[in-house]
């Protein structure tokens, strides 16, 4: 991932140097991947179609966290919930950050 540099500091503020998104958004580099949201299914938590998702496979899912999972043979982005009896569930990772345009 490229570094982003803040070129015009506000008056009275000192330049802090380059902003490294890896340092701010990636806790487990070997377990992190990115994907684009394909729908507005999680719009209520601020995720819109086309947003870039930072997904951490090392993060443990907990109830209510947004995850990328395979449930019933379908890749889905959903809030984590326990599988029902007989339902197959494979968690690909927990969404830790969302990048979207305004």
Encode the chain (102 residues) as per-residue pLDDT tens digits: 555 555 555 666 666 677 788 988 999 999 999 999 999 999 999 999 999 999 999 999 999 999 999 988 889 999 998 888 888 889 999 999 999 988
Q: Is residue 2 part of a domain?
A: no
Residue 81 lies in a domain: yes
Q: Do the domain assignments include residue 94?
A: yes
Residue from 92, 75, 74, 71 nearest 83 by CA: 71
Q: What's residue 56's pLDDT?
A: 98
Domain encompassing residue 80: 27-99
For the entire predicted model, the pTM comes to 0.80
Distances (CA, A) of 63 to 10, 28, 58, 102: 41, 21, 16, 29
> Which pLDDT does position 82 carry in this prediction?
82
Q: 7: Cβ–Cβ under 8 A, 6 or more apart, which residues?
A: none
pLDDT for res 101:
83
| Residue 35 maps to a domain | yes
44 domain residue, yes or no: yes
Report the DSSP beta bridge partners of residue 23: none
**Overall number of domains in the chain:** 1
């Amino acid at each position: 991932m490229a570094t982003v540099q803040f070129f015009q500091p506000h008056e009275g503020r000192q330049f802090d140097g380059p902003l490294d998104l890896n340092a701010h958004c990636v806790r487990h580099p070997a377990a992190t991947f990115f994907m684009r949201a394909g729908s507005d299914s999680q719009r209520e938590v601020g995720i819109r179609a086309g947003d870039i998702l930072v997904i951490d496979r090392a993060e443990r899912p907990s109830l209510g966290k947004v995850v990328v999972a395979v449930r019933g043979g379908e890749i889905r982005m959903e809030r984590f919930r326990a599988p029902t009896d007989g339902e197959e569930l494979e968690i690909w990772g927990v969404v830790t950050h969302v990048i979207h345009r305004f």
